[in-house]
Amino acid sequence: MSREANALGWPAGPVPAGAPLIRLEAIHKWFGNLHVLKGIDLDLASGHVLVVIGTSGSGKSTLLRCIDMLEEPTSGHVWFKGRDITDVRVNLNEVRTHMGIVFQAFNLFPHKTALGNITLALEKVLHMPRDQARERARAELEHVGLGQKALSHPGQLSGGEQQRVAIARALAMRPDLILFDEVTSALDPKLVAEVLAVMQRLASEGTTMVVVTHEMGFAREVGTHLVFMDEGVIVEQGEPKAVFDNPQHEQTRRFLSSVL
Amino acid sequence: MNRIPAPRPIRGFVALREGSRPLGVVSAVVGGLALAVVLGGTTSVLAEYGIRREDRIAAALQSRELFTLLVFGSLLGAGATALGFGTYRRMPTRVSREEAIAGAVLGLQAAIGGLALLWFIQGDMERFARNFLSFEQIVPQYEAFLNGARNTLVLAGAGEFFGVILGLVLSVFTISKRAVVRAPVRVYINLFRGTPLLLQLSLIYFGLALGLGVNMSAYTAAILAFSLNTGAYSAEVFRAGIQSIERGQMEAARGLGLGYMQSMRYVIVPQAVRRVIPPLMNEFVILIKDTSLIAFLGLSYAQRDLFTVGSQGYSQFFNATFYVASGLGYLVVTLPLIRLVTWVEKRLRSGLLGAVA
């Protein structure tokens, strides 16, 4: 069955004028008795870098994972390009080819080379011919400065290099947005910089990004919109510099003074 | 200024009480010597008399030389044991302590082995050699044994091959989040794990072939039973392997837009398979031995496996040497495999086969 034949197939063409790329609507998430997200509403337009900060356990990672439905919201809706992807009839595999995600623990496939990590989805999901997939994978590796490491296995790479391969893997799919889930938290301070530099360049190239992070410098400089979360709710949001310099809420002030 | 006086070297009987470094060496050497006398002595006496003929073996076992060697070796071993265990606690260095302990243990092994052999050779050695070590009767049968070994390997190899394929498919069902998918597979696995292989073999051969009139040779029935049985066991092995892969691997694959089955096929299973190679090879060793159960189905001459060859040889000649020979045949096949498992495990642990991140 072709994609077009599916009544709920992905709408071709650009996002309807005025519609945000992502819209979260009253998202609640329960893990058993634990109420992790307590009604999140959020809009994200194309070309923006949304930075999410907050204490551990505030629900920011869960929120990020709800965006590409790795976690299913208990209630509420996630709209992506004008379509509600919490609808069970939506083909999530199709949706996810339009979103990339990069994890804290890299999650590279250890049995494949850096190149193989990138070409897998290109060949099996986008059905790209092998040569073309390799060509694109090499280009993406160059893009993150790892052209020479194409044939290395993840075990032979440093943490920073592994994370850059993971970013290249997400980029190669040419997604509409990329989600970053605390991608520098598992890295040595020395290696954090190389990963942040890659992300900064992506942002300057106009990539739409949602970045959950503890790197306050990055949040302030690179973010175009900042969200501060605490105990499952968005406490404060706005232009990053404004929030950092002039927090409106007591919780935000306390958090910022503890991390800065 | 006061100087601490250098300790006087400990010699003679004082050394026994105080412990000393040379004493550790002595204990180790005496213990090793005792074991060498018992094992090497027995071997060389046997070699001296010749092991081709059973009467020579019997003569060797009853010889004065062997008796003297065993008595001497046992006494030496007992001495090393007493010396080593008596002094190791007081040894001044770690190395000499280890030497004393090693000597004591080697000596104990020599004493136990020597005494056991001494006790054993008091029995009827002619009868023993005639019944267990009559290799001249085996030699003319070597083709039957070779054929038996081949059949054993074919049965085990085919059973393992089809069983592993079946097991891999079943294991994917066992980790389904849907109970309706899991339940029938669980029933299958538990039925085959919960009943004796011999019963399964009999049911399939006598039940299907004779009862339902499905025309099938004992050989085919056996391969079918071994495959179904191995399928159940290897399904559990694969399940454990798949569940040992970090959750993040599945998330990363799904996050790229791969479907569940695609993620399994390209990401999870290739990693899991590498991890379960050692346990699967252990299953194979077990299956090699279990193929002997086919003897109960009654086999034609050409279909006989290693055990049946031995067992039929026994009934024909009333000589247990046939069992000894078929036991040796199994060892020839399984010992290298067991070594191989150890080797693969080591490689996997060092990450050289790429199974570990």
Angle formed at CA A93 by CA A205 and CA A123, multiple of 5 degrees: 70
Contact between chains at A100 and B255 (C-beta distance less than 8 A): yes
Contact between chains at A125 and B255 (C-beta distance less than 8 A): no
User: What is the tens place of the pLDDT at every residue in B30-62?
Assistant: 999 999 999 999 999 999 998 888 888 899 999
What are the chain A neighbours of B251 within 8 Å (beta carbons)?
70, 101, 103, 107
Question: What are the E-state strand segments in chain A?
Answer: 22-31, 34-44, 49-54, 75-80, 83-84, 99-102, 177-181, 209-212, 225-230, 233-238
User: Comparing B207 with A30, which gets the higher pLDDT?
Assistant: A30
| A17: confidence class by pLDDT, cuts 50, 70, 90 | low
User: What is the tens place of the pLDDT at every residue in A66-105?
Assistant: 999 999 999 999 999 888 999 998 999 999 999 999 999 9
Contact between chains at B256 and A154 (C-beta distance less than 8 A): no
Which of A70, A97, A155 is nearest residue B351 as measured by Cβ atoms?
A155
User: What is the tens place of the pLDDT at every residue in B157-181?
Assistant: 999 999 999 999 999 999 999 999 9
Interface with chain A: mutation pick from B177, B246, B247, B256, highest number of A CBs within 10 Å? B256
B300, pLDDT greater than 60: yes
Q: Structure tokens of B153?
A: 């390997």
User: What is the tens place of the pLDDT at every residue in B130-141?
Assistant: 888 888 888 888
Contact between chains at B357 and A154 (C-beta distance less than 8 A): yes
Contact between chains at A120 and B356 (C-beta distance less than 8 A): no
User: Minimal Cα distance from A122: which residue of B?
Assistant: B256
The interface pTM score, or ipTM, of the predicted complex is 0.91
| B1: confidence class by pLDDT, cuts 50, 70, 90 | low
Contact between chains at B257 and A108 (C-beta distance less than 8 A): no
A15, pLDDT greater than 80: no
Q: What's the gap in Å between the CA of B356 and the closest CA on chain A?
A: 7
The three-state (H, E, C) secondary structure of A186-228, written as one string: CCCHHHHHHHHHHHHHHHHCCCCEEEECCCHHHHHHHCCEEEE
How deeply is B94 buried, as exposed, middle or buried, from its count of CB atoms within 10 A (0-12, 13-18, 19+)? exposed
Report, as an integer, the average pLDDT of B92-113: 93
Is residue A148 within 8 Å of A129, Cβ to Cβ?
A: no
Q: What is the pLDDT of residue A253?
A: 93
User: What is the tens place of the pLDDT at every residue in A134-158?
Assistant: 999 999 999 999 999 999 999 999 9
What are the chain B neighbours of A169 within 8 Å (beta carbons)?
256
| CA distances from residue B289 to A187, B203, B205, B306, B308 in whole angstroms, order as listed | 50, 20, 19, 10, 12
Check CB contact of B336 with chain A, cutoff 8 Å.
no
B246, pLDDT greater than 90: yes
Q: What is the pLDDT of residue B18?
A: 64
C-alpha B314/C-alpha B295 separation (Å) is 14
Q: What's the gap in Å between the CA of A103 and the closest CA on chain B?
A: 8
Report, as an integer, the average pLDDT of B280-289: 92
Of residues B242, B269, B266, B243, the one with CA closest to residue B254: B266
Q: What's the gap in Å between the CA of B252 and the closest CA on chain A?
A: 6
Contact between chains at B258 and A173 (C-beta distance less than 8 A): no
Report, as an integer, the average pLDDT of B110-122: 95
Which of A96, A109, A111 is nearest residue B255 as measured by Cβ atoms?
A96
Report, as an integer, the average pLDDT of B344-354: 67
